[in-house]
C-alpha cells in the first residue's frame, strides 16, 4: 500500500466514523439514559406526540399522493391551453419551506389579516367575533398546509415516469377500449407505484423533519417535542430518548417504502418512450383542467409568496427594511457557504470512493453518507451533541496539555453548525457527483490509467473535470437546502447568531409576524434557484429526446 | 500512487532476474478470465516478439477485447501469467497497475479527453518529461500522423479519421513497449478506413512498434499483421502467419476464417480420398474412414467433358472480367459457387474436377 493510499483509507475511515457518530451516540444515550425520565415521557409526552405525528403523516401522505399523481396525470395525459406553463408551475411549491408557508398563512388568515377582513367586508360584518372560520392552528390545518407544499415530491417522479414509460402502454390501454378514468386507475397508477412511493417517502421525511409549521400551528409532533424538551425544559437526555423513538419511526418508514415498492426499483433516468399522445381538451373542460391544476400552485406557492411580497412591500413603505435583515442574510450565506465547501469536498471523496477504495467499501461509504439526510434535523442535532462535547473536552485537555489556548470547535460555535449541515446534506453532493461520474464513458479513465496516471491522478485529471458541472449543481442544491434549514440551525447555531430561518422562527414564535416577511421572502427566492435548475434540466432533456426519436 | 513511468527503456535489460537475451516482448501464458460464471478467456497463451504486429481475430464476444484489457492491466486474470520484457506484470503475487506497465492502448471509441485540446491529449502520457520536452514530443507525434496545426482544436471538432490519428499519436507518445489496438478502424467509413489503416501501419512499421491489433475483419488482420491469432469463444484456436493459417488450418472453423471453403463429406481409404467431386490422392495423413473435406475455390477446376463430375449451371452473374457461377453437383448439400473466366463456361452443364492444393481434410468428429 502506498502512503497516499494509506492516507486515503484513513480519511475514509474517519469520515465513516463521523457519519455514523449521531446514530451511535443516540444508541448509547438510550442504553444508559436515566430511567427516571422515561416513565414521565412514556406517560405524558410520547402517547400524544406519537398519535399526532402518526395522524399528521397519514394525512399528509394521502394528500400528497392525491395531489401529486393527480397533477402529474393531468399534465401527462391531457393537452389544453396553458399545459406547458402548468407543467413548470406545479414545481413552484418546492421553493417554499414548510415553516415559511405556515408563517405566511398564519398572518394571511389572522382575524385581522387580509382574508378575514375581506370576507367580513363582503358579508357586511363588523366584528371578528361574528365570523368564525375553522382555526388553521389545528392538526387538519397543518395537514393541509404541508400537503400543498410537499406534493411536488410526488408530482416530480410520477410525472417523469408517465413521460418515460406511459406513452405506449397508455395508448395500448386506450386502444383496448379503456376510458381515461379506467386507464388512470388500472394502468397508470400501478405503473407509477414505485415513483409514487418514492415521492411520498421523501414528502413524509420532510413532514417529519418539520419543526416550524407544526409548532406555529400548535401541533405537538415528536419533532416539536424533541425541540421543546431540549430548549424549553433543558432536558437533553429526554430529547435524546424522543429522538430515538423518531429514529425508529424513520427506519419503519424506510422499511415501509421498500415494502410498498415491492422490490421494484424506480427507474428515474433512461430512455423516454414516444411522448404520450395527449387527449386534447377544449372549452370548459380545458378551463376546468387548468383551474384544477393551478389550485395547488396557488395554495402552495402563489398565495403565500404573493403575500410575502405584499407584506415586505408594506414594510418597505412604512419603516423600511428591518436593520437586522442584512446581518441575518450574511449569517445564512456565511454558514451555508462554508458548509457547502466542506460538503463538496467530502462529496467528491465519497462519490469517488468506489473508484479509489474498491466497489464494496465505496458503496458502504456512500450509504453511510445518506444517513444524515434520512434523520430528521432535530434527531441529527441531538445525536451530534455528545460527539461534539467529547470533541470539545478532548481539545480542551489537549490545550491544557501544552497548547496554551483552546481551539473551540464543538458546541456553540459555527463549527458545530457546519458539521451538522455537512452531515445532513452530504448525500445531495454525493448523489450529484456520483451521477456526473457515472455519465463519463468508462474508456476515458481507462485511457488515463494506460497513459500512466494512477487512480488518484485519473480522478484529478479526467473524472472530476468532466463531472464538474454535476458537482456544481449538487453544490448549489446543498447550499440552498442549508440556507433554508431550520431545525438544525435552531438547535446548533452559535449564541446570538440569527439566520434568516431562525429569525423568522423567532418572529413567528413571538407573534410579531410583520418583521419576518422580508426574511421569508429571501428564503423563498433562494428556494426558487433549484426549481429553476430542475426546469432547465428538464428542458435540456427534451430536445435530446426528440432528436433520438428522429 | 504518484509513481511516474520511467522513460521506456530499450528492450529487456536484464532487470528483475530475467536474462537480457529474452527475445519475447510480451508473453501471455495460460491466462483465464471469467465474469461471474461466464468464462471470457480460457487458458490462452500467446507471445509477441519485438517489432512484431499480431492480429487477434474473432467474432464479437470471443474474448479478444478481454485479452487486451488483461495485457493493459485494466483487469486481472483469474489464472495464468503475463510477462512484458521478461517482467511479470500479472499472475501469482498480484498484478501491476496499468499506469506502470508501459503498455499503450488505442480504444475503439478513441477515448479522447473531451475537455483537453488535441495537444493536451497527446501530452497526457508524457507527465514524466519536462513541460518543454513533453510539448516537443507531442508536436512531433502530431506531425507524424499528419495533424500539425490542429494542436489547439478540441476533440469534438475533429472528423473520425482525425480523431483516430490523435488517438494513435497519444498512444505512441510515451513510447509504449507494446501497443494494443482495439478495433481502431471499425468506427470509420469504408473509404477513410483503407487510407487510415495504411497510414497507421506505416507509422507502426517505421517506429518498429510491437503491437497487438484486435479485429473481427479477416482482410484487416491479413493486411496488418505478421501473425494472426484466431480466437473463438474465449479459446485460442490457432496462431500463425496468414499464409500458414490459410494453407494449414487446424479445423474447419480455422479454414473458413481466412477464405471461402466448400465443405463436403469424404471417405479416406488406402491413401486416397473420395469426394462427390472425384477421387484424389489423400493430401494429408488421415486415418481411414469418414472425413470432412474443405475445398478452397482454387482446388475446384472446370475440366474437359468426360474427365470430371457433371454439374448443372443454375445461375451466372456478371463480375467484370470473370463471372460467378452457381453449379449444382449431385451429392452436395448446396450449390458450388465458382469464379471463372467470362467465356470459360458456355452451356448449361459443366464437368468439375479437383486439383491438388487447397484441399483440407479434417476428422469427421471435428466440430464445424
Site from A357, A447, A457 to mutate, B interface, most B CB atoms within 10 angstroms? A447
Instruction: Decide if pLDDT at A508 tops 60.
Output: yes
Domain count along chain A = 2
C-alpha cell at position B180: 494494443
- Whether chain B has a CB inside 8 Å of the CB on A447: the answer is yes
Say yes or no: A20 and A85 in one domain: no
Instruction: Decide if pLDDT at A281 tops 70.
Output: yes
Give the residues across from A153 on adjacent strands: none
C-alpha cell at position B173: 507518445
Confidence at A359, pLDDT banded by 50, 70, 90 = confident
Say yes or no: B205 and B308 in one domain: no
Let me know: does A75 contact A67? Beta carbons within 8 Å. no
Which residue in chain A has the smallest CA separation from B169?
A451
Instruction: Decide if pLDDT at A269 tops 50.
Output: no
Count of alpha carbons within 13 angstroms of residue A123, beta-carbon side: 13
- pLDDT, position B6: 38
Confidence at B210, pLDDT banded by 50, 70, 90 = very high
CA nearest neighbour of A84 among A214, A236, A278: A278
Say yes or no: B131 and B276 in one domain: no
Please check whether residue B4 lies inside any domain of the structure: no
CA of B87 to nearest chain A CA: how many angstroms apart? 17
Say yes or no: A22 and A152 in one domain: no
pTM: 0.80
CA of B20 to nearest chain A CA: how many angstroms apart? 25
Contacts of B127 in chain A (CB under 8 A): 452-453
Say yes or no: A305 and A360 in one domain: no
Confidence at A42, pLDDT banded by 50, 70, 90 = confident
Residues A452, B1: C-beta atoms closer than 8 Å: no
* End residue of a domain, out of B215, B247, B279: B247
CA of A437 to nearest chain B CA: how many angstroms apart? 14
Distances (CA, A) of B352 to A162, A536, B256, B275, B329: 67, 73, 22, 12, 9
- pLDDT, position A169: 64
Distances (CA, A) of B257 to A535, B184, B214, B221, B260: 55, 20, 15, 11, 8
Contacts of A451 in chain B (CB under 8 A): 99, 104, 124-125, 170-171, 174
DSSP-assigned states of every residue in A304-326: HHHHHHHHHHHHHHHT-S-THHH
Residues A466, B107: C-beta atoms closer than 8 Å: no
Domain that holds residue B325: 261-363
Which residue in chain A has the smallest CA separation from B124?
A451
DSSP-assigned states of every residue in B66-126: HHHHHHHTSS--SEEEEEETTEEEESTT----GGGS-EEEE-TT----TTS-HHHHHHTT-
Using N-to-C axis directions, what is the helix angle for A500-510 and A98-108, rounded to 10°?
40
The torsion of the CA quartet B147, B152, B157, B160, rounded to 10 degrees, works out to 30
DSSP collapsed to 3 states, B319-367: ECCEEEEEEECCCCCCCEEEEEECCCCCCCEEEEEECCCCEEEEECCCC
CA of A543 to nearest chain B CA: how many angstroms apart? 20
Domain that holds residue A448: 1-32+321-511
CA dist., res. A341 & res. A337, Å (int): 6
CA dist., res. A525 & res. A520, Å (int): 9
Please check whether residue A522 lies inside any domain of the structure: no
- pLDDT, position B367: 57
The residue-averaged pLDDT of A62-76 equals: 92
Among the residue ranges A251-255, A537-541, B235-239, B262-266, the one predicted with the least confidence is A537-541
- pLDDT, position A545: 38
Please check whether residue A426 lies inside any domain of the structure: yes
Please check whether residue A525 lies inside any domain of the structure: no
- pLDDT, position A548: 35
User: Cell match 433562494: residue?
Assistant: A526
Residues B73, A461: C-beta atoms closer than 8 Å: no
- Number of helical H runs and strand E runs in chain B: 8, 20
Domain of B320: which CATH number? 2.40.50.140
Contacts of A453 in chain B (CB under 8 A): 99, 124, 127
Say yes or no: A360 and A312 in one domain: no
CA B150 to centroid of chain Cα atoms: 32
Confidence at A273, pLDDT banded by 50, 70, 90 = very low
Residues 6 or more apart whose Cβ sits within 8 Å of residue B193: B185
- pLDDT, position A35: 59
Please check whether residue A544 lies inside any domain of the structure: no
Say yes or no: B99 and B194 in one domain: yes
The residue-averaged pLDDT of A107-113 equals: 77
Site from A451, A456, A468 to mutate, B interface, most B CB atoms within 10 angstroms? A451
Share of chain A above pLDDT 70, in %: 87
Say yes or no: B229 and B302 in one domain: no
Confidence at B178, pLDDT banded by 50, 70, 90 = very high
The residue-averaged pLDDT of A306-314 equals: 89
Say yes or no: B44 and B105 in one domain: yes
pLDDT tens readout for residues B49-104: 999 999 999 988 888 889 999 999 999 999 999 999 988 999 887 889 999 999 99
Distances (CA, A) of B79 to B28, B30, B39, B90, B95: 11, 7, 12, 9, 11
Say yes or no: A304 and A409 in one domain: no
Say yes or no: B296 and B189 in one domain: no
* End residue of a domain, out of A283, A318, A353: A318
Instruction: Decide if pLDDT at B187 tops 70.
Output: yes
Say yes or no: B30 and B167 in one domain: yes
Instruction: Decide if pLDDT at A164 tops 80.
Output: no
The residue-averaged pLDDT of B206-228 equals: 92
Contacts of B171 in chain A (CB under 8 A): 451
CA of B112 to nearest chain A CA: how many angstroms apart? 7
- Whether chain A has a CB inside 8 Å of the CB on B154: the answer is no
Please check whether residue B8 lies inside any domain of the structure: no
Instruction: Decide if pLDDT at A73 tops 70.
Output: yes
Instruction: Decide if pLDDT at B5 tops 50.
Output: no
CA dist., res. A54 & res. A56, Å (int): 5
Domain of B96: which CATH number? 3.40.50.300
Top-ranked range on mean pLDDT: pick from A407-421, B153-167, B323-337: B153-167
CA dist., res. B139 & res. A432, Å (int): 38
CA dist., res. A148 & res. A304, Å (int): 11
The residue-averaged pLDDT of B318-325 equals: 78
Say yes or no: A305 and A379 in one domain: no
Please check whether residue B110 lies inside any domain of the structure: yes
Instruction: Decide if pLDDT at A339 tops 60.
Output: yes
Say yes or no: A308 and A189 in one domain: yes
- Whether chain A has a CB inside 8 Å of the CB on B249: the answer is no
Residues A449, B114: C-beta atoms closer than 8 Å: no
Residues A447, B4: C-beta atoms closer than 8 Å: no
CA of B113 to nearest chain A CA: how many angstroms apart? 7
The torsion of the CA quartet B45, B50, B53, B57, rounded to 10 degrees, works out to 0
- pLDDT, position A316: 85
Confidence at A423, pLDDT banded by 50, 70, 90 = very high
10 Å Cβ neighbour count for A522? 20
Which ranges of A319-410 would DSSP assign to H, the alpha helix? 324-357, 359-369, 371-374, 377-398
Say yes or no: B191 and B272 in one domain: no
The residue-averaged pLDDT of A58-79 equals: 92
- Whether chain B has a CB inside 8 Å of the CB on A259: the answer is no
Say yes or no: B124 and B223 in one domain: yes
Contacts of A452 in chain B (CB under 8 A): 4-5, 99-100, 125, 127-128, 174
Please check whether residue B255 lies inside any domain of the structure: no
Distances (CA, A) of A249 to A4, A375, B206: 41, 10, 72
Say yes or no: A15 and A134 in one domain: no
Say yes or no: A75 and A182 in one domain: yes
The residue-averaged pLDDT of B99-118 equals: 92
Say yes or no: A299 and A397 in one domain: no
Domain count along chain B = 2
CA of A540 to nearest chain B CA: how many angstroms apart? 19
Average pLDDT, rounded, for chain A: 83
Residues 6 or more apart whose Cβ sits within 8 Å of residue A255: none
Confidence at A542, pLDDT banded by 50, 70, 90 = low
Top-ranked range on mean pLDDT: pick from A484-493, A503-512, B114-123: B114-123
Please check whether residue A117 lies inside any domain of the structure: yes
- Whether chain B has a CB inside 8 Å of the CB on A283: the answer is no
Share of chain A above pLDDT 90, in %: 27
Q: Which residue has the higher pLDDT, A189 or A343?
A: A343
- Whether chain A has a CB inside 8 Å of the CB on B305: the answer is no
pLDDT tens readout for residues B231-253: 999 999 999 999 999 988 998 89
Count of alpha carbons within 13 angstroms of residue B342, beta-carbon side: 5
- pLDDT, position B346: 64
CA of B14 to nearest chain A CA: how many angstroms apart? 23
Say yes or no: B225 and B286 in one domain: no
Residues B111, A447: C-beta atoms closer than 8 Å: yes
- pLDDT, position B4: 37
At residue B301, the 3 state secondary structure works out as strand
Say yes or no: B265 and B243 in one domain: no
Considering only CB atoms, B125 lies closest to which of A444, A451, A462, namely A451
A516: DSSP letter = G
- Whether chain A has a CB inside 8 Å of the CB on B184: the answer is no
User: Cell match 358579508: residue?
Assistant: A123
Which residue in chain A has the smallest CA separation from B128?
A452
Let me know: does B359 contact B285? Beta carbons within 8 Å. no
Please check whether residue A184 lies inside any domain of the structure: yes
Please check whether residue A366 lies inside any domain of the structure: yes
Contacts of B183 in chain A (CB under 8 A): none
Say yes or no: A266 and A307 in one domain: yes
Domain of A493: which CATH number? 1.10.3720.10
Let me know: does B43 contact B49? Beta carbons within 8 Å. no
Please check whether residue A410 lies inside any domain of the structure: yes
Considering only CB atoms, B99 lies closest to which of A443, A449, A465, namely A449
Give the residues across from B319 on adjacent strands: B322
Instruction: Decide if pLDDT at B3 tops 70.
Output: no
- Whether chain A has a CB inside 8 Å of the CB on B211: the answer is no
- Whether chain A has a CB inside 8 Å of the CB on B73: the answer is yes
CA dist., res. B157 & res. B150, Å (int): 10
The residue-averaged pLDDT of A94-122 equals: 82
Average pLDDT, rounded, for chain B: 85
**Dihedral pair phi/psi, residue B326, rounded to 5°:** -95, 125
Instruction: Decide if pLDDT at A326 tops 60.
Output: yes
Say yes or no: A388 and A296 in one domain: no
Q: Indicate left, alpha or beta for B4 from its phi (over 0: left) and psi (-120 to 50: alpha).
A: beta
Say yes or no: B241 and B320 in one domain: no
Amino acid at each position: 500500500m502506498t502512503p497516499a493510499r494509506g492516507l486515503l483509507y484513513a480519511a475514509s475511515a474517519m469520515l465513516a466514523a463521523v457519519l455514523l457518530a449521531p446514530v451511535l451516540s443516540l444508541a448509547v444515550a438510550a442504553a444508559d439514559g436515566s430511567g427516571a425520565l422515561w416513565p414521565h415521557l412514556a406517560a405524558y409526552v410520547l402517547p400524544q406526540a406519537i398519535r399526532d405525528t402518526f395522524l399528521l403523516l397519514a394525512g399528509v401522505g394521502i394528500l400528497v399522493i392525491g395531489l401529486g399523481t393527480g397533477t402529474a396525470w393531468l399534465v401527462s395525459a391531457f393537452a389544453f391551453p396553458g399545459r406547458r406553463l402548468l407543467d413548470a408551475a406545479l414545481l413552484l411549491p418546492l421553493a417554499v419551506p414548510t415553516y415559511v408557508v405556515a408563517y405566511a398563512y398564519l398572518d394571511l388568515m389572522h382575524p385581522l389579516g387580509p382574508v378575514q377582513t375581506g370576507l367580513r367586508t363582503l358579508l357586511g360584518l363588523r366584528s371578528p367575533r361574528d365570523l368564525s372560520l375553522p382555526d388553521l392552528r389545528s392538526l387538519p390545518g397543518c395537514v393541509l398546509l404541508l400537503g400543498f407544499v410537499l406534493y411536488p415530491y410526488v408530482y416530480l417522479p410520477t410525472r417523469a415516469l408517465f413521460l418515460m414509460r406511459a406513452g405506449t402502454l397508455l395508448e395500448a390501454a386506450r386502444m383496448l377500449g379503456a376510458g381515461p378514468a379506467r386507464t388512470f386507475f388500472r394502468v397508470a397508477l400501478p405503473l407509477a407505484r414505485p415513483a409514487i412511493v418514492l415521492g411520498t417517502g421523501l414528502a413524509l421525511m420532510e413532514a417529519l423533519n418539520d419543526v416550524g409549521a407544526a409548532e406555529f400551528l400548535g401541533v405537538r409532533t415528536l419533532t416539536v417535542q424533541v425541540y421543546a424538551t431540549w430548549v424549553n425544559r433543558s432536558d437533553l437526555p429526554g430529547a435524546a430518548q424522543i429522538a430515538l423513538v423518531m429514529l425508529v419511526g424513520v427506519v419503519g418508514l424506510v422499511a415501509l417504502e421498500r415494502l410498498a415498492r415491492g422490490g421494484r426499483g424506480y427507474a428515474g433516468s433512461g430512455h423516454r418512450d414516444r411522448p404520450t399522445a395527449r387527449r386534447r381538451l377544449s372549452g370548459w373542460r380545458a378551463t376546468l383542467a387548468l383551474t384544477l391544476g393551478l389550485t395547488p400552485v396557488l395554495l402552495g406557492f402563489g398565495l403565500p409568496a404573493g403575500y410575502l411580497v405584499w407584506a415586505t412591500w408594506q414594510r418597505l413603505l412604512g419603516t423600511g427594511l428591518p436593520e437586522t435583515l442584512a446581518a441575518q442574510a450574511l449569517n445564512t450565506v456565511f454558514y451555508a457557504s462554508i458548509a457547502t465547501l466542506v460538503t463538496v469536498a467530502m462529496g467528491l471523496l465519497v462519490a469517488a470512493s468506489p473508484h479509489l477504495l474498491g466497489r464494496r467499501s465505496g458503496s458502504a461509504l456512500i450509504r453511510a453518507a445518506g444517513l444524515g439526510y434520512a434523520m430528521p434535523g432535530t434527531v441529527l442535532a441531538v445525536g451530534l451533541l455528545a460527539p461534539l462535547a467529547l470533541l470539545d473536552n478532548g481539545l480542551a485537555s489537549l490545550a491544557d496539555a501544552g497548547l496554551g489556548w483552546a481551539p473551540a470547535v464543538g458546541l456553540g460555535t459555527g463549527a458545530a453548525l457546519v458539521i451538522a449541515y455537512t452531515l445532513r446534506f452530504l448525500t445531495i453532493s454525493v448523489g450529484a457527483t456520483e451521477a456526473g461520474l457515472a455519465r463519463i464513458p468508462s474508456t476515458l479513465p481507462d485511457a488515463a490509467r494506460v497513459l500512466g496516471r494512477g487512480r488518484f491522478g485519473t480522478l484529478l485529471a479526467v473524472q472530476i473535470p468532466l463531472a464538474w458541472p454535476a458537482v456544481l449543481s449538487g453544490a448549489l442544491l446543498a447550499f440552498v437546502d442549508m440556507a433554508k434549514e431550520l431545525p438544525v440551525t435552531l438547535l446548533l447555531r452559535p449564541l446570538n447568531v440569527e439566520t434568516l430561518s431562525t429569525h423568522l422562527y423567532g418572529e413567528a414564535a413571538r407573534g410579531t409576524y410583520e418583521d419576518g416577511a422580508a426574511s421569508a421572502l429571501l428564503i423563498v427566492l433562494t428556494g426558487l434557484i433549484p426549481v429553476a435548475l430542475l426546469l432547465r434540466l428538464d428542458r435540456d432533456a427534451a430536445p435530446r429526446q426528440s432528436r433520438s426519436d428522429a | 500512487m504518484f509513481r511516474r513511468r520511467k522513460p521506456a527503456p530499450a528492450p529487456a535489460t536484464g532487470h528483475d532476474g530475467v536474462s537480457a537475451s529474452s527475445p519475447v516482448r510480451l508473453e501471455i501464458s495460460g491466462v483465464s478470465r471469467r465474469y461471474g460464471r461466464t468464462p471470457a478467456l480460457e487458458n490462452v497463451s500467446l507471445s509477441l516478439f519485438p517489432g512484431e504486429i499480431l492480429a487477434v481475430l474473432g467474432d464479437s464476444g470471443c474474448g479478444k477485447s478481454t485479452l487486451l484489457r488483461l495485457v493493459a492491466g485494466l483487469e486481472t486474470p483469474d489464472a495464468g501469467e503475463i510477462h512484458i520484457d521478461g517482467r511479470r506484470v500479472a499472475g501469482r503475487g498480484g498484478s501491476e497497475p496499468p499506469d506502470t506497465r508501459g503498455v499503450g492502448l488505442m480504444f475503439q471509441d478513441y477515448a479522447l479527453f473531451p475537455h483537453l485540446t488535441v495537444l493536451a491529449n497527446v501530452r497526457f502520457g508524457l507527465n514524466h518529461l519536462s513541460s518543454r520536452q513533453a510539448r516537443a514530443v507531442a508536436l512531433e507525434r502530431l506531425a507524424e500522423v499528419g495533424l500539425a496545426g490542429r494542436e489547439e482544436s478540441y476533440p469534438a471538432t475533429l472528423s473520425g479519421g482525425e480523431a483516430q490519428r490523435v488517438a494513435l499519436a497519444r498512444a505512441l507518445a510515451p513510447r509504449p513497449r507494446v501497443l494494443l489496438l482495439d478495433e481502431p478502424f471499425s468506427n470509420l467509413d469504408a473509404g477513410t478506413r483503407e487510407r487510415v489503416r495504411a497510414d497507421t501501419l506505416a507509422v507502426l512499421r517505421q517506429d518498429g512498434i510491437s503491437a497487438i491489433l484486435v479485429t473481427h475483419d479477416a482482410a484487416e488482420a491479413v493486411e496488418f499483421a505478421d501473425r494472426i491469432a484466431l480466437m473463438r469463444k474465449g479459446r485460442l484456436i490457432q496462431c500463425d502467419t496468414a499464409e500458414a493459417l490459410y494453407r494449414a488450418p487446424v479445423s474447419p472453423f480455422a479454414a473458413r476464417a481466412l477464405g471461402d471453403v466448400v465443405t463436403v463429406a469424404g471417405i479416406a481409404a488406402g491413401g486416397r480420398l473420395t469426394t462427390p467431386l472425384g477421387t484424389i490422392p489423400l493430401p494429408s495423413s488421415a486415418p481411414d474412414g469418414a472425413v470432412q473435406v474443405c475445398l478452397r475455390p482454387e482446388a475446384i477446376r472446370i475440366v474437359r467433358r468426360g474427365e470430371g463430375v457433371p454439374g448443372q449451371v443454375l445461375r451466372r452473374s456478371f463480375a467484370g472480367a470473370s463471372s460467378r457461377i452457381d453449379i449444382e453437383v449431385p451429392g452436395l448439400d448446396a450449390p458450388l459457387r465458382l469464379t471463372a473466366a467470362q467465356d470459360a463456361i458456355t452451356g448449361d452443364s459443366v464437368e468439375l474436377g479437383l486439383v491438388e492444393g487447397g484441399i483440407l481434410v479434417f476428422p469427421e468428429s471435428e466440430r464445424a
